[in-house]
Structure 1
Amino acid sequence: MKKLFVHKPLFRLLSPLFSGTLVYLFILLINNNIDELGINFFGQELYVCIGLAYLIQEYSRISIIVFSRLKKPSSFLVKTVLQIVSTIAVNIALVSFAMYVYFSKVLFYTPNSRELLVFNSIFSVIALIYVMLYVSHQFLYMVNTDKLEKEEWARKEVEDDFSDFKRGVNPELFFESLETILVTMKSNPDKAEEVTDRFAMVYRYLLSQKKNELVPIETELKILEELLPLFSELPYRNIQMGKVMVKETLIVPGSVLRIIENIMRTTIPSETKELVIDILEMDNNINIQYIHEEKIHKSLNINELKSICKDYRFYTSQMIQVIHEEVYKNIYLPKLKIA
Structure 2
Amino acid sequence: MKKLFIHKPFFRLLSPLFSGTLVYLLILLINNSVADLNENFFGQELYVCIGLAYLIQEYVRFSIVIFKRIARPSSFVYRIALQIVSTLMINIVLVSLAMHVYFTKVLLYSLNSRELLIFNSIFSVIALIYILLYVSHQFLFKINTEKLEKEEWARQEIEEDFVEFKRDINPMLLFESLEAILAIMKEDPDKAELVTDRFALVYRYFLSRKKDELVPVKEEVEILEELIQLLSELPYRKVSLGKVELGNTLTVPGSMLQLLELIMRTTIPSKNKSLVVDIKESENEIIFKYIHEEKINKNLNINDLKFLSKEFSYYASQPIQILHEEDFKTIHLPKLTLA
Common topology (TM > 0.5): yes
Corresponding position of 2:180: 180
Residues 279-301 of structure 1 show CA distances to partners (whole Å, capped at 9, x for unaligned) of 23233322222222211222212
In the alignment, the residues of structure 2 paired with residue 261 and residue 267 of structure 1 have an alpha-carbon distance, to the nearest angstrom, of 10
Corresponding position of 1:222: 222
In the alignment, the residues of structure 1 paired with residue 90 and residue 285 of structure 2 have an alpha-carbon distance, to the nearest angstrom, of 65
In the alignment, the residues of structure 2 paired with residue 333 and residue 95 of structure 1 have an alpha-carbon distance, to the nearest angstrom, of 74
Deviation at 1:172, TM superposition (A): 0.7
Unaligned runs of 5+ in 1: none
**Pairing 1:111–2:111 present:** yes
Q: Tell me, what secondary structure is at the counterpart of 1:272?
A: coil
* Alpha-carbon distance change, 93 to 331 in structure 1, aligned in 2, over 3 angstroms: farther
Supply the AA of the counterpart residue of 1:46.
Answer: L
Q: Tell me, what secondary structure is at the counterpart of 2:271?
A: strand
Deviation at 1:2, TM superposition (A): 5.2
Q: Which moved more, 1:178-187 or 1:206-215?
A: 178-187
Supply the AA of the counterpart residue of 1:70.
Answer: I
Supply the AA of the counterpart residue of 2:31.
Answer: N
Residues 109-160 of structure 1 show CA distances to partners (whole Å, capped at 9, x for unaligned) of 4423222211111111111111111111111112222222222222222222
Corresponding position of 1:30: 30
In the alignment, the residues of structure 2 paired with residue 285 and residue 66 of structure 1 have an alpha-carbon distance, to the nearest angstrom, of 57
**Pairing 1:151–2:122 present:** no
Corresponding position of 2:160: 160
**Pairing 1:336–2:336 present:** yes
Aligned residues: 339
* Alpha-carbon distance change, 338 to 18 in structure 1, aligned in 2, over 3 angstroms: same
In the alignment, the residues of structure 2 paired with residue 175 and residue 204 of structure 1 have an alpha-carbon distance, to the nearest angstrom, of 16
In the alignment, the residues of structure 2 paired with residue 248 and residue 97 of structure 1 have an alpha-carbon distance, to the nearest angstrom, of 87
Supply the AA of the counterpart residue of 1:150.
Answer: K
Supply the AA of the counterpart residue of 2:317.
Answer: S
In the alignment, the residues of structure 1 paired with residue 216 and residue 194 of structure 2 have an alpha-carbon distance, to the nearest angstrom, of 26
Supply the AA of the counterpart residue of 2:123.
Answer: F
**Pairing 1:203–2:203 present:** yes
Corresponding position of 1:276: 276
Deviation at 1:35, TM superposition (A): 5.4
* Alpha-carbon distance change, 92 to 192 in structure 1, aligned in 2, over 3 angstroms: same
Residues 213-255 of structure 1 show CA distances to partners (whole Å, capped at 9, x for unaligned) of 1112122111111111111111142001122223222221111
**Pairing 1:311–2:321 present:** no
In the alignment, the residues of structure 1 paired with residue 31 and residue 269 of structure 2 have an alpha-carbon distance, to the nearest angstrom, of 97
Q: CA RMSD in A?
A: 2.0
Corresponding position of 2:251: 251
In the alignment, the residues of structure 1 paired with residue 65 and residue 150 of structure 2 have an alpha-carbon distance, to the nearest angstrom, of 28
Alignment of 1:53-202 (within 5 A): 53-202=53-202
Q: Tell me, what secondary structure is at the counterpart of 2:277?
A: strand
In the alignment, the residues of structure 2 paired with residue 22 and residue 193 of structure 1 have an alpha-carbon distance, to the nearest angstrom, of 89
Supply the AA of the counterpart residue of 2:104.
Answer: S
Supply the AA of the counterpart residue of 2:336.
Answer: L
Residue pair 2:242, 2:277 contacting (<8 A) in 1 also: yes
Supply the AA of the counterpart residue of 1:280.
Answer: K
Runs of 4+ aligned structure 1 residues displaced above 4 Å come to 33-36
* Alpha-carbon distance change, 67 to 328 in structure 1, aligned in 2, over 3 angstroms: farther
In the alignment, the residues of structure 1 paired with residue 160 and residue 23 of structure 2 have an alpha-carbon distance, to the nearest angstrom, of 59
Q: Tell me, what secondary structure is at the counterpart of 2:287?
A: strand
Q: Tell me, what secondary structure is at the counterpart of 1:27?
A: helix
Q: TM-score, normalised by structure 2?
A: 0.93
In the alignment, the residues of structure 2 paired with residue 324 and residue 42 of structure 1 have an alpha-carbon distance, to the nearest angstrom, of 87
Q: TM-score, normalised by structure 1?
A: 0.93
In the alignment, the residues of structure 2 paired with residue 282 and residue 101 of structure 1 have an alpha-carbon distance, to the nearest angstrom, of 89
In the alignment, the residues of structure 1 paired with residue 57 and residue 267 of structure 2 have an alpha-carbon distance, to the nearest angstrom, of 69
Unaligned runs of 5+ in 2: none
